[in-house]
Amino acid sequence: MDEHSGYANERFVAGKILTYGPVMATGGAFGLAVLEVADEAEARQILENDPTVRAGLMKFELYPMKVAGAQGFGTGGKR
């Protein structure tokens, strides 16, 4: 999981992952990430190279999203 966290954080700092983290659903926890990429191929490349996916510990589902609205961090915000 340390490798997974480091991998995700590197893509976050690079601006490819906009937000990510665990979702504590009543049916069981899972992870969620919102990516900003050029196309589906770039998204797949990022997700397929996650260390936990490569090790067969996790799998992913990929869905496109049309942004209807978003808020940023504002002046002085942190990533």
pLDDT in tens, 42-77: 999 999 999 999 999 999 999 999 989 888 765 554
Which one-letter amino acid corresponds to residue 50?
A: D
pLDDT at 74: 59
- 33 near 12, Cβ under 8 Å? no
pTM score, whole prediction: 0.83
Q: What is the pLDDT of residue 15?
A: 94
N residues, the chain: 79
Domain ranges of the chain: 2-54
CA distances from 31 to 16, 35, 39, 50 (A): 16, 13, 21, 12
* pLDDT tens-digit map of 2-45: 999 999 999 999 999 999 999 999 999 999 999 999 999 999 99
The pLDDT of residue 75 is 52
Neighbours of 64 (CB within 10 A): 7
CA neighbor of 47 nearest in space, from 11, 2, 19: 11
In sequence order, what are the beta bridge partners of 22? 31
